[in-house]
A and B are shown apart, each in its own frame.
Chain A
Amino acid sequence: MAAITPRQRTGWATANFVVIALALIPVLWLVSLSFKTPTAVLDPSFIPSQWTWGNYHGILTSSQFLRPLLNSIGIGLISTLVAVILASMAAYAVARLRFPGKSVLIGMALLIAMFPLIALVTPLFTIERALGLFNTWPGLIIPYVAFGLPLGIYTLSAFFREIPWELEKAAKVDGATPFQAFIRVIAPLAAPGMVTTAILVFLACWNDFLLAISFTSTISARTAPAAMQYFSGGSVFTIPTGPIAAAAVVITIPIIIFVLFFQRRIVAGLTSGAVKG
């Protein structure tokens, strides 16, 4: 590699700075708003003129946010767990076994991944009301699992292809059934890919808004992104900017943690399924 000239150094420093600034400014604006007092909110400066923890105190002591936050976490975790287990089984079959109908499965997963969600909202709304699933946790978990599966099957089959399968064969030679070979030998090797998939599926559930507002009517199942629009201000005439910003920051924190700790995994997961195709 040729030596780096000072000009190149400045150029890359500027480029890096621009990228970081563009990525962070909208997030920092939310942080700023969340610390502004109701009077300071009316002032467009980026740095709050008066600071307060009041917005956070307000939302974290109100069931109007705490309950939806709990719903988001619970529904997200359960959906992720179920989707990753089912997707691992299917991806193993796709990557390893010979059986007819494999391309039908891939085609179906692809179709669902590209499906316009709104097209399912109307019929699912009617079905969920008939089955008593409307405004319940399962009412959101079931569709989240279904929409997490294509993502999971793609990502995991891409990961499963990289696994040294001779080990599985060795296990079979030693007398293990295919199922035992799957559980004892392959699953531990597949764990990194499963973690990656779990993160992506969880982010998708955590992010969902359309299904969350369509299939819930009270805070008993409403998730955090859907609950924010129902926050109330000091009076009916005030828009609750501060509390909404604080809630937005709270639901962004898990994402920042994921990104900080699992950056490589997320990148690998996002690109594995798509580019090799």
Chain B
Amino acid sequence: MSTNTETVTTGAPAEAPPTRKPQLSEGARAERRLGFMLIAPAVIVMIAVTAYPVVYAIYLSLERYNLALPQAKKFIGFANYGAVLSSPYWWHALYVTVIITVFSVAITLVLGFLLAFVLHRTIFSRGLVRTTSLIPYGIVTVAAAYSWQYAWTPGQGYLSSIFNNSAPLTNQFQAIVVIIIAEIWKTTPFMALLLLAGLSLVPEDLQKAAKVDGATGWQRFTKITLPLMKPAILVALLFRTLDSFRIFDNIYILTLGANGTGSVSILGYDNLFNALNLGIGSTISILIFICVAIIAFLFIKGFGTAAPGTDIAKR
């Protein structure tokens, strides 16, 4: 909150990076050294677990490498990319992933708003509602996925029996709907909490003034609340979209990707652990990474989403 005053109290001008100063005072040099020492362990772990494997994955994606046929290991350039990008499996998995992402994120945004309003405005038992709505956020995705799976098992599930003993998980379209419902149930509270934090930044006076001027509830929402909340909404959408694009757990438990319900993550997993094909598996990994980078780029450049943490970086 008191960002500006803090900068002042630190004594040294924060705007001038120490690198541009020809001479560093003893104190500044000690501070720098401490800074590097404090971030070093975190940086080393993050690089070891992500940066190095990504480089390794790029290398693997250029090789023919099947664990079942280790002798046939060979550098083949971009042939794996050609194989994956010309394969209907990849495009179908990408299509399924995009469908699931678009629908689950869009519906979660709407429901998240409704839930945020309930959490923000409800006049009683606010604590109870807030606590209960955190359970879907916290519950292990796999546990929740089993609940949905058994609920839709014909003859055994309460939801299946309500819908005439239907077996939606054996049908491509219906199974994708069930997967989307499971995603929405799990992620709406998180969306609602992010929106709620944005909602509490909308000044109450502004709402009251608009009310006095005769604005309806809907007008106040679209003309005041939404514009003021735009940054919070975009960050929440970015988080949810990238998270949803990685969907794996729900699909693995609900359908195992059968009947054309597999996402790109399921496809990558299958190529590694069922086909034991490290080359193709890595190629799929890299392509997923590129997709995620494109999504993040579109959000940040296209919609002007503030990259989370930018104000931290400025300090």
A residues with CB within 8 A of B? 4, 8-9, 12-13, 15-16, 19-20, 22-24, 26-27, 29-30, 33, 41-46, 86-87, 89-90, 92-95, 97-100, 102-103, 105-112, 114-127, 142-143, 145-147, 149-150, 153-154, 157-158, 161-162, 165-166, 169, 178-179, 203, 206-207, 209-210, 213-214, 225, 228-229, 241, 244-245, 248-249, 251-252, 255-256, 258-260, 263, 266-267, 270-271, 273-277
Contact = CB atoms under 8 A, between A and B. Distances in A.
Given A20-B129, A90-B43, A123-B54, 5 more contacts: A9-B123, A106-B313, A146-B46, A277-B309, A277-B312
A116 B289 contact: yes
Given A115-B292, A165-B9, A277-B307, A120 B194 contact: no
Nearest to B305: A277
Chain B interface category by residue count: 35 or more
7 contacts: A12-B124, A19-B133, A95-B312, A118-B284, A142-B45, A209-B248, A214-B269
Best-surrounded residue of B134, B232, B235, B278 (most CB of chain A within 10 A): B134
The 6 closest A-B CB pairs, nearest first, are: A99-B35, A146-B49, A277-B308, A248-B143, A123-B53, A271-B197
B75 interface: no
B19 interface: yes
Contacts of B177: none
Contacts of A111: 50
Given A116-B265, A122-B278, A146-B49, A251 B140 contact: yes
**Per DSSP, are chain A's interface residues mostly helix, strand or loop, or mixed?**
helix
Contacts of B307: 110, 277
B136 A248 contact: no
A243 to B, nearest CB: 11
Contact of A86 (B42, B134, B265): B42
Interface of B: 1, 3, 6, 9-10, 12, 14, 17-19, 28, 30-32, 34-36, 38-39, 41-43, 45-50, 52-54, 56-57, 60, 115, 118, 121-125, 127-144, 146-148, 150-151, 155-158, 160-161, 185, 189-190, 193-194, 196-198, 201, 232, 235-236, 239, 242, 245-246, 248-249, 252-253, 264-265, 268-269, 272-273, 278, 281-282, 284-286, 288-289, 291-292, 296, 306-313, 315
Contacts of B308: 110, 154, 273-274, 277
Contacts of A106: 309-310, 312-313
Contacts of B242: 114
B32 to A, nearest CB: 4
Contacts of A252: 139-140, 143
A119 to B, nearest CB: 4
Contacts of A27: 135, 139, 144, 147
